Amino acid sequence: MAGSGQPWFMPLTWPIGHVSTAVTKPEEDKPPPPSSTPYLDLTGNFTAMAAAARSWTLAYLCIYYLPQKFGLVYPAFGPAKEFSPGWMIHIIARNLLATWIICGFWDWFLYFSPIQKKLHKYKMNPVYPSFAQIKHDALVTTSASCAAAGIEIMLCHFWATGRLSLTTTLSDAPFLNLSMALLLTHYRIPHFHLIHRAMHPWKTTKFPDIGKFLYRQVHSLHHKSYNPTAFSGTNMHPVESTLYYSAALIPVAFGLHPVHALGVIVDCAMGAWLGHDGFQWPGSGDYFHMLHHKHFDCNYGAMHVPLDYLFGTYAGSKEEVSQIWKGKAAGEEANDTPVHEASNKAGKVE
């Protein structure tokens, strides 16, 4: 979540707080062994709400600040009645710039910066990915951000034309809007768990294993990056990235202000990017999902809403994966789809 030993509000300080503490942290500091839990404690929930507030605030700025800097109005409030390059390019360009600035900077800082060697001991998988993997994931993540832009463009058009209802003022229901902002990550996680679990083998013989088909044809692209970086977060097949960002439809279904839908898109992006950075500190410390990338058949959701704990698919170690499936082929050994090769040099991306 906030990273090993970090205060709950750290997501609100990213990246300044993380970089400054990394630079000043003593060289002799020893990281604790990475660990996972099936659900968040009280501090973890506050950390999640801080991250959600960050996503919602960025969405608010994208609606009420960024367009005005270019003499525009957010398209949902009128301009999107007609499809035109002006407002659509603005959304696409904004997404692509954010993708490359956020992922590019964070991967550079963790994997290439002058303090890379100092941070190595905090990497949950001590092996480094190859530069070929990072280049591949950067390209695919760029396409995923275009999918997110496509969803936002269609929503703006339907809002502007009245095909979808929306609230245009946030002051009408302040408590509802505040609650939706702080619980943004919590309410979108069941959607993520559902689509993610569906794209892994269902391990059934009672009917055709659709999940196995979807894994091979769609989701295996994401799992090629078994040793992920920030750019790996939305390294997704176009079908998967579209489904992933479709979580934005949750607040749309209730006719809420567009900032909530855009907040979900931002949270999906930043949650995936920072959650895949591979470091317990100054990264997100998401060992729960790192175990999923390593062992495949466990931890399909997130700790915010403990569906894996409820459905019996939570694992805190490799040994627990085999216990989940009771003798069925599972885990790293059962995966026969290709993965990216590791770096040729120890402790360094190459």
Confidence check: pLDDT of 4 > 70: no
Q: Compute φ and ψ for 156, nearest 5 degrees.
A: -60, -40
Q: DSSP letter at 216?
A: I
Q: What is the pLDDT of residue 120?
A: 95
Could you give the CA distance from residue 95 to residue 100 in angstroms, rounded to a whole number? Answer: 9
At 228-265, the pLDDT tens digits run 999 999 999 999 999 999 999 999 999 999 999 999 99
At 198-236, the pLDDT tens digits run 999 998 888 999 999 999 999 999 999 999 999 999 999
Angle ∠(347,226,97) on CA atoms, nearest 5: 85
Amino acid letter for position 265: I
Q: What is the pLDDT of residue 97?
A: 98
In this prediction, residues 22-27 reach a mean pLDDT of 92
- Sign, CA torsion 139/144/147/149: negative
With bands split at pLDDT 50, 70 and 90, how would you rate the model's confidence at 3? low
Q: Compute φ and ψ for 216, nearest 5 degrees.
A: -65, -40
Could you give the CA distance from residue 293 to residue 281 in angstroms, rounded to a whole number? Answer: 18
At 117-146, the pLDDT tens digits run 999 999 999 999 999 999 999 999 999 999
Tokens of 85: 């390059």
Let me know how many helices (H) and strands (E) the chain has, helices first: 16, 0
Upper half-sphere CA count for residue 143 (Cβ side, 13 Å): 15
At 52-62, the pLDDT tens digits run 999 999 999 99
Max CA separation in the chain (angstroms): 62
Upper half-sphere CA count for residue 196 (Cβ side, 13 Å): 27
Query: pTM for the full model?
Result: 0.96
Amino acid letter for position 300: Y
Q: DSSP letter at 128?
A: P
